Structures are given as structure tokens and as C-alpha cells.
Structure 1
Amino acid sequence: MKKSKFYLFIITAALSVQSCTVSLELDKKAKTFNKAAVVTAHPLASKVGVDILKMGGNAIDAAVAVQFALAVVYPNAGNIGGGGFMVYRSSKGEINALDFREKSPEKGHANMYLDKQGNVIEDLSVYGHLSAGVPGSVDGMVEAHKKYGKLDWKTLLNPAIALAEKGFPITKQQAEEFNEYKESFQKYNPSGAPILKTTSWKKGDLFQQQELANTIRRIADHGRDGFYKGITADLIVKEMHKGNGIISYNDLENYKAVWRQPVTGYYRGHKIICMAPPSSGGPALVALLQSVAQYPLGKWGFQSDSAVRVMVEAERRIYADRAKYLGDPDFIRIPVKELTDSIFNSERLKTVNLTKATVSSDVKAAKFPGYESEETTHFNIVDSEGNAVSITTTLNNSYGSRVFVSGAGFILNDEMDDFSVKPGVPNIYGLVGGKANAIEPNKRMLSSMTPTIVEKDGKLFMVVGTPGGSTIMTSVFQTIVNVIDYQQNAQQSVSSPRFHHQWLPDQIDVEKNAITPKVRKSLENAGYKISPRGNIGRVENIIILSNGKLQTGADPRGDDTASGF
């Protein structure tokens, strides 16, 4: 088994410059560790990662253990019934990327969610058995471990088995979610599910999942075949038959994760290394940074009037490109080179009149010749040998399809909604897609996941990523700007309030404390629509300091936790 050191990551108009910035209510103290760090969405998953590292495992070993642990302790997004991406960088600068995105079943087709009149059937691609794509998480972890792992496979899955079997005390946020989704779980699991009980859940209640423990034990004993064949496959196919789903034995057996070449670009002397299609995150992130590089964001100030306008207008155009050009590269030609051309992106934004808002209906995708609820989860790991991992993985909507595989104890994804169910019709995140992302048999659906590496002077500088559906790309974009332009530390960069624009709908979504009232009024006077909303993303960040120490940022919007030693 290969044991080389590596880093792996599972992302001119005249304006009066207003330097007035948001009064940040931040936890400014960033935890710093000497040798190794793990940042995940749940404290128990972070502990599992650290324990594996202390046993002598490397970052990939810890990532595998964390992935399975999250499937137990973070069921709304942690998973074995979903998929994801990771980006890789060796200590010598070698880069690679693993695509373990879900796929359409072989019976999937472009009209499967339309009625006889060609209209979209509400919620059919979002909830229930038919919304599930073929899961990729287990095969992805198997492939990563096969290529770079160090410890025995069974050793890595034992912590997740123990957590599922013995149970763990749920957090306050989890208790609220379990109760909130009870009716939905009952609807799609009439014969019962581990998450259902007669009384309400409360903080500290023990959550035990014996069926899930049995499933993970089969994967520990048989590797890939413990999920895609045998008893688990039987249970998945049986569950499909119960709810008119279409995942078959062939779909499961034929699923394969794919190694891809990462997308790269530059921003203010930093090299950006991120995920390639079918994630739109990589091309979009590079294009966003290239678009705003010509403007003095640092001088203007955090969320100043000028900075917000420039960033929003860049986002508006990049999301229009996403809708037209991005999809599965195994099915269509994607103009990644053109989409990430620094001169093109710079010149394109330079022609925009920044004194007033562009109307999104007037913005069309660029022309080239020849041509995710937000309940994803993200984690970063750096070990004491210098290996590092960042992975973004998802079920799509919170708790995915809401369907538990009876007898197997895990939730199936609802990733089929990430396809363009009908060109021009938005998905649950309001994203509009085109023919490039239409449903076809065995095709991977487009994603917004953006696991990213940033290098400075040829050395690893930052590991960053987030959940957040359609807001993932803009959240990673803003976090990188926060660090490079606004000189924020790792914790500040993820705690800072965020905003988001995705072309359609034509509005700036803002968190409660994002953009000061004065700047909001100025933007509204210029024609921008401000739309208040809840939390945007849950970013995890690790910055490698000049002294070699690891500075961490765990997003305070959830139960996210940084651990290390």
C-alpha cells in the first residue's frame, strides 16, 4: 500500500468607497495545534479522527474513520448512503482528486419526474425512494484507503460500529431536528426507523442504531462488497421495491469512484486547487476569484458597499455559466479551460456598471465556440507527518430522501434533484439547470461541493470547505477573501457573517449580521434586492502558519468542533 506523504482535500467602474464594515460578533480565538488537527461537524467525529491519528494512522485513515463516524453521529448529512468529493495534494506538490459522487440508476431518464403534460411533479425528485441516486461514499472511502491508507481497514471502522451499537448522547440541535422531521420520517418509513420513537427527543438522549452497526460491520469485514453486494445490497433493492425506487443490483455492483485532475488557478499570488466537474465548485471558485482580483477588496474593507457589489456581480455571472455549461464530464464536453480563463473573467466584470444592479434576466451565460438543503457536511484533517485531508460529502437535502433502508439502518440520498429535472426549472435550492445536467442513465449529477486547497509560495497554506447546497461556492469564495484580503484568522474567517447571490432568483441572500444597515440601504437604492435568511454554510478551515503550526476554524453555526494535538 502506498504510504507517501501528501495533502488531500476532501475549494473599472467609479464607486465611492465605503469602508464601513459589519460589527462582527465573532469568536476570534482560533484553536492552534502543534502536530495534527481535525475539524468536523460533530465533536465525536472529531475525536474519532484524533484517536486514529494517535494510533499511528495517517490523514486518509482518519478521514475514512471520520466519514463512517459521521454516518452514525451526524445522520442529517454524514452518510454511507450518499456521495462526495475530495481533493489531494502531496507534500511534494502532487495533486489529484477523487469523485465519489452519486449516479443516476440505469433506469433513470430525462422525463422521470414529469407528468403527462410535461410539468414537474412536486417533491418527486426530493423525497422518497425515487429521489435516490446510486450511493458512492463507501466505494470512495475504499478507493482512498486502497491508494493511500496505512492502518488496517477494520480498525478504521471499529469506532463507528461502537458509536452505533452503544449509542451516543444527541446534541440540543439534533434533538430539535429529530422532533421537527418526525412526521416526514413517519411518512416515508411507515414500518419504523431508528430515529423514530413515541416520545419527543431531548438533549442528552441516547441514540442507538444496531442495524447501522451491523451494516458497517459488514463493510468492515468485506470492504466494498459489504455494501454493494450481499446482504446490504439485498436490503437496498428490497427497500427500492417497497417504494417504487429504481436502484438495482447492477447499479450497485457497477458503481465506481473516479480519480480526476483538479481544477487550478491563481489569486493574489496564491494557487487555488479544487474539485473538477461534475462538481461545479472548482471552475466557479476559480472564476469568482479571477473576476474580483482586479479590485482592492482589502482596501475597501470587509462587506463594504464597493466590495459587496463587485462580489455579487461576479457571482451573478458565474452562476449563469454554471447553469449552461456544467455537468458530468463523462457525458458532455465541459469548457473548463474557457470558464477559468483569468483574462476572460477579469475583462468580463470590468465592463459591468457597478453603480447600479444588473438585472439577472439580462445576464446570459458566456459564449464559447463548440459548445446542494444545504445539509452537506465537510471535514478537514492534517496529521503529524504532514498528510492532510479535506472531504465534502452529502445526502443533498437534510436527511436526504428521508428513507431509511429497512434492516440496514442508513438514510438514502435525494441527489436526483441535483439534476436538471426540467431545463429552466429550479431545484430545491433555486438553482436553474440546462441540458448539460439533464438526467441520463449512469450519469453523475452536477454538484456545488467545493473542497479546496490554497498554496502560498509553493507550500500548503489553507484547507477549506463547507456544506450549504447552492451557497457552498460563495461561502468558500468569501472565506478565502476573508483570509487573503481581510487578514482574518481561521476562526474569524468561518465565523464572519455571509451573503450569497446565485443569478436566479435575483436577490442577495444575507445572514442576520451580514452587511451593515447603511450598506444595505445603499445597495437597495442601486437596485439590489436584499433577502434576509438563516445561516449560510458551516465552513471548516485550517491555516498552516509560518511556524508550521495548524490554526483551525470550526463554524459556530453548528456543533462543529476542532480537535488535535
Structure 2
Amino acid sequence: MILRLKTSTRLLFSALLLTAVTGYGQQAAPLYHNGMVVCAYPDASQVGVDILKKGGNAVDAAVAVQFALAVTLPEAGNIGGGGFMVFRPAKGLPNTLDFREKAPAAANKNMFLDANGNVVPNMSIATHQASGVPGSVDGMVEAHNKYGKLKWAELVQPAINLARSGFKITPHLASDLNRNAESFKQLNPGKTYFLKDTPWEAGQLLIQEDLAKTLEQIRDKGRAGFYEGKVAAQLTAEMKSGNGMITESDLKNYHSVWRKPIIGRYKDYKIITMPPPSSGGIALLQLLHSVEKYPLHRWGYNQDSTVQVVVEAERRVYADRSKYLGDPDFFKVPVDSLLKPEYITSRMQNFSWDKATPSSDIKPGTFAGYESDQTTHYSIVDKEGNSVSITTTLNGGFGSKIVVKGAGFLLNNEMDDFSAKVGVPNMFGLTGGTANSIQPGKRMLSSMTPTIIEKDGKLVMVVGTPGGSTIITSVFQTILNVIEFNQDMQQAVASKRFHHQWLPDEVYIETAGTFTEAVKDKLQQKGYKVIVHGPSGRVDAILVTKGSMLQGGADPRADDTAAGW
């Protein structure tokens, strides 16, 4: 007898199964045929879908989403930050765009040290000096010039409408605004941005008139609407008010860079990802190769053997990151050496099943010749099969929390992503070396890992996440969830994650229930220190099913939304 369930029953069963696997109550993954946008805020997702419906391609939608997120996701969406784009056309070669921020011309390697050579607390986080030269607007202009179809003004206008008319805030955004209200007051004397007399409540309108005016300048003048003229003058005046370093010359001289993607393989899958100054692409490929020979599928999701192999791979990869990764325009990054299969295999040779390898015993590898929590990611696929994976950031939540007077946008605190001092961790606990030291005009190292996956020449997945130092491991585990553990896209992004970054020598888990008690006991008996650390990343991804449908995965840890048509 064949049991046939009603559609509603099947959906309920799927939701219950997903809750059991992930710990998050979620509906089954949405499916669309013509196009999909998955990003961190529902209004911005809808903006992207509207652009696709108008005949725009994935890059057009990406530009519109970037500006819409600058309005609706002030924690991380931005015009005052930067990011990375991975683009895979339906036909032709993939490409990547680096619109990461740069150190101002007046920056120097000792700028965050006191007279005794010690790092000054919070100077690289919550001051005007914490800001790098923004790249997001230039990046969107470059992407549109190269690949866009619709007119530029059409892509910026939806964000202007959201800023001027306002949008209803979610409980999550209301909580973030309330929690940071005191910082906004202290860091923005004489300004009232994001502040009101009573606490914010879900459903209230957030109206940003000054931001709307800034976006109008960008709509009408393109790149010059931000890097020259009125907005540039407002930004540099803000810098001068707090002894910041960004000048009009810095703004005029900023340009994003097209770079050759990092491409590797995991089993039958082709991985297209971001090159330096992102550390994410190299680290992701190192991680995938490190675990490729192990039977993860047989062991299962978050089982002790799976966790042990993944943690030991992460430990070694983050050690390499600390020494060898930086801006390739300033430091020769040994990409080929780091990605040689023999080298990666050699790094795992001292791994023992009997006990944890102490991080104190792991140093960056040797060979011949020798990022906030509040980043945001969005994934887009259009009707023709063009795909875009973009991760963009202000670094910390709301960046430096300093708003440009009159212009209404937040400044980044990306200078903290440099190594202020060799061996001293940044806000995410990441330790760096001379490869990522501060130099004028240099791009700071990032963990952002926008990635696109194909198999047999066909698009399979578009994936990425925010999460500071957890970005790389969140993308890595999401990919494994699909390929090795047969999870659908929504399950894969919702499943509980764990993280190890070499130093500190701890395994971070999201909740006490991330591992079963049996798994946790086995790991602790082998010397692994397991720490509950809270949510890890906010993955937004798209999977192309065997039936060529687009299946969305929007992270349930916040307001992330999958929309399509």
C-alpha cells in the first residue's frame, strides 16, 4: 500500500523534521522557478525580486538589494562599508569584484598603539580613526557598468523610497536599535539618528530623510554622487570633527578591483570563491580538501568523528590564515602553495583520533619558497541562470556607530580587521601577523566567503554568510550539510553549527543542544574544550534542485528572507 499524504500534512511533517534536525521551527524550503533573492531583511528581498520581474539580471538585483539593505539593515547593510562579489554568468567565465575598504593615506602600522607600544582599547572600533575608505558604492557602480541591464536610477530608487517613506521594523531590528541607543548618543553628539524618546517597537516606521538625500545624489550622479561633491564634503567634515583620517583625496582615489576567482574542487563539485584580500576562499578550499577523504556521510551530521575531523582541519587552516593572508597588492600571498593537495594533506598528518591536538602545538605551515558579527550576505539567481554571491559589511554591529552628519549613513570600523599589533587579537579574537599590518592604501584582511558551486557545468548552490571569524566555518558546514548530510537548503542553513579558529583553543557551539550529550562527552574526554558561544553566522543561500527549481535557505537566526517568482 502506498501512503499518500495531503500537501498540508507533508508540509507539517517537513517542518517538524526540520525542527528536530536544526532546533529551529521553520517551514519547508521555498521553491521558485524564475528567480530568487535571499537576504537579511524582507523588504530588501522584495526589492531584488521586483528588479528581476522587471527584466533585470542578477547583478541588477544585487545592486538594488545592496542599497535597500543600507536602509533596512543599518547593523550591516551599507554605503559606508565594503565587501566582495562572486559572479557566475549563465554563459561565460566567472569573475569576482573586490570592493573592500582601504586604509586612508595617513594611516600607519602603529596608529592604534600607545607610547609604550600597547594597543589602545576601542580605538580601532569606536572612533573616527576606525574607518577605512568605503568601497560599496564604487563596487556597485563597477558591477553595474560591467554586467547590468537596467538603468542605474531604477536600481537605486527603491532604497530612496524605503528611506523617505520609512519601513516597518522587525522585533529583531527594534531590539538592536534599543540596545545600541546609548552608544549612538555618546558617539554622535548633536545628532539624533536612530534615536527616539521612547524605545523602538516592532511595526514602527524607521524614516531616514538624510539617507534618502544621499541616495538621491548616488542615483543622479553615480560614483561622483558619493566620492565627490556634497556627500564627500559631508563625510570629510565628519572625519575632521573626530580627528578621522579619510580625506577627499582618499575618496577620489578609491577604486574597487576585479580579481580572478579562486577555483577548486570538492569531490564532483566545482567551488568558485573569493581570492585575497578575503581569507575565506583559500580557507574554505583548504577545509574542504582536509576532510574530503573522510566518510562524513557515513558518520553523520554533528557526530563525534565528524566534529573531531572538522575541528582539527579548522585549527590548522586558521593558523595558516594568521601568517599568510593579506592584501595581495601589498603582500605576496602564496595561494598556490596553500592550496596544494600535498601541503593540505601534510597538515593533517599529526592529527590523532585519541586526543585533541593542542593549538599550542600547531603553527602556521611551511613550504618551499615561501571579519563582525554584523556583516551581511545575499544570494541571487535570475531567470537565465546568472548568479551572484555578495558579502558586505561595516565590520561591527552598526560599524563604528558613528553617523555622517547630514548624510545619514554609518561609518565602518574596518581598520580593526588589520593586525594593530602582531599577535594581538582583534574584536573577533583573530590573531594576525605582518601580512595584515596597516599600510596606507592597503585593504584589510577579511573572512568573508561568498561562494558559488557547480557540478557538471551546471549551477548547484550560491552561499555565504556574515559572522566575523565564524564566516568561513559557517559556509564550510553549510556546504557539507547539503553534499554530505543530504539536507535541503533551508535545513542546511538552519542546522546548528560549531566553530574553531586555532586561538583561543576552544570549540564554540551555538547552544547546549548543538551536540548530543554523548558526543560532547566523547569530545571532552579527548581534551576538547566545548564552549556555548551563541548564534554562529546568518547563512543565506540558494540550491538548484534536480528539477531545476530554486530552493531558498534563509537563516532563521534573524530576519533573513527568501523571495522569488
Is the TM-score greater than 0.5? Answer: yes
State the TM-score, normalizing by the size of structure 2. Answer: 0.95
Q: Please tell me whether the aligned partners of residues 26 and 492 of structure 1 are also in contact (alpha carbons under 8 angstroms).
A: no
- Which residue number corresponds to residue 477 of structure 1? 476
Provide the C-alpha distance between the structure 2 equivalents of 1:113 and 1:338, rounded to a whole number of angstroms.
32
- Which region of structure 1 is more displaced relative to structure 2, 539-548 or 324-333? 539-548
CA-to-aligned-CA distance 1:432-484 (integer Å, 9 cap, x gap): 00000000000000000000011111211110000000000000000000000
1:116 aligns with 2:121: no
Which residue number in structure 2 is paired with residue 437 of structure 1?
Answer: 436
Q: How many residues align?
A: 545
1:547 maps to 2:547: yes
Aligned equivalents of 2:97, 2:186: Cα separation in 1: 35
SS of equivalent to 1:522: helix
Counterpart of 1:481 in 2: which secondary structure? helix
1:24 CA displacement: 4.7
The residue that corresponds to 1:528 in the other structure is 528
CA shift for structure 1 position 369: 2.8
What's the offset of the Cα at 1:523?
Answer: 0.6
Amino acid at match of 2:203: G
Q: Distance in 2 between matches of 1:135 and 1:23?
A: 37
Query: Aligned to 1:64, what secondary structure does the other structure show?
Result: helix
1:240 and 2:229 correspond:
no
Distance 1:322 1:257, change over 3 A: same
Separation of aligned partners in 1, 2:457 and 2:23: 32
In 2: Cα distance, 1:511 partner to 1:78 partner: 24
**Unmatched 5+ residue regions in structure 1?**
1-20
Between the aligned partners of 2:492 and 2:543, the Cα distance in structure 1 is 10
What secondary structure is seen at the aligned counterpart in 1 of 2:364?
coil
- Pairing 1:421-432 to 2, within 5 Å after superposition: 421-432=420-431
> Residue deviations 1:325-365, cap 9 Å, x none?
00000001001111111232123213311220011011000
Deviation at 1:248, TM superposition (A): 0.5
Structure 1 residue identity aligned to 2:198? T
In 2, Cα distance between equivalents of 1:244 and 1:79:
22
CA contact (8 A) 1:48 1:66 kept: yes
Q: RMSD across aligned C-alpha pairs, in angstroms?
A: 1.1
Instruction: Give the Å deviation of 1:28.
Output: 6.0
Q: From the superposition, tell whether residues 238 and 25 of structure 1 become closer, same or farther in structure 2 (CA, over 3 Å).
A: closer
CA positional deviation for 1:269: 1.1
Alpha-carbon displacement from aligned partner over 1:388-423 (angstroms, at most 9, x marks no partner): 211100000000011000000000000000000000
Output the CA distance in 1 between the equivalents of 2:558 and 2:77: 14
Measure how far apart 1:226 and its partner are. Answer: 0.2
Instruction: Name the SS for the 1:391 alignment partner.
Output: strand
SS state at 2:348 partner: helix
Instruction: Give TM-score scaled by structure 1 length.
Output: 0.95
CA contact (8 A) 2:554 2:560 kept: yes
Give, in angstroms, the shift of residue 93 of structure 1: 4.7
| Cα displacement string for residues 209-239 of structure 1 (whole angstroms, at most 9, x for unaligned residues) | 0000000000000000000000000000000
Distance 1:495 1:22 in 2: 9
Cα distance change on mapping 1:443 and 1:23 into 2, 3 Å: closer
SS of residue paired to 1:527: coil
Q: CA deviation at 1:90?
A: 1.8
| Alignment correspondent of 1:556 | 556
The 8 Å contact of residues 107 and 441 in structure 1, kept in 2 or not, is answered as yes
2:374 aligned residue: 375
Answer with 87-96 or 436-445: which moved more. 87-96
Please report how far the alpha carbon of residue 255 of structure 1 lies from its aligned counterpart in structure 2 after TM superposition: 0.2
- Paired amino acid for 1:92: K
TM-superposed CA distance for 1:92, in Å, is 2.7
Equivalences for 1:502-521 in 2 at 5 Å? Answer: 502-512=501-511, 513-521=513-521
In structure 1, what is the Cα distance between the partners aligned to 2:399 and 2:251?
18
User: Secondary structure at the residue paired with 1:350?
Assistant: coil
What is the rounded CA distance, in whole Å, between the counterparts of 1:370 and 1:26 in structure 2? Answer: 51
Give the 3 Å change call, closer, same or farther, for CA 23–413 of structure 1 in structure 2: closer
- Structure 2 CA distance, aligned partners of 1:331 and 1:138? 23
Distance 2:49 2:182 in 1: 37
Please show how residues 284-433 of structure 1 align to structure 2 within 5 Å.
284-433=283-432
Per-residue CA deviations over 1:83-124 (Å, capped at 9, x if unaligned) read 000112122351110000000000000000000000000000
Task: Tell me, in whole angstroms, the C-alpha distance in 1 between the residues paired with 2:52 and 2:21.
Answer: 39
Moved over 6 A (4+): none
Looking at structure 1, the residues matched to 78 and 520 of structure 2 have their Cα atoms a distance apart, in angstroms, of: 39
Asked whether the 8 Å contact 2:316–2:347 carries over to 1, the reply is: no
Amino acid at match of 1:548: S
CA contact (8 A) 2:131 2:412 kept: yes
Map 1:464-503 → 2, pairs under 5 A: 464-503=463-502
Cα distance in 2 for partners of 1:223, 1:194 equals 25
Do the aligned residues in 1 keep the contact of 2:22 with 2:495 (CA within 8 Å)? Answer: no
Question: Residue in 1 aligned with 2:6?
Answer: none
The answer to whether the 8 Å contact 1:375/1:397 transfers is yes
Task: For residues 493-524 of structure 1, give each alpha carbon's deviation from its aligned partner in whole angstroms, at most 9, with x where no partner exists.
Answer: 00000000000000000011311111111111
2:4 matched residue in structure 1: none
Q: Which residue of 2 aligns with 1:98?
A: 97
- Displacement, 1:198? 1.8
CA distance in 1, matches of 2:442, 2:353: 39
Query: Does structure 2 conserve the Cα–Cα contact (< 8 Å) formed by 1:30 and 1:491?
Result: yes
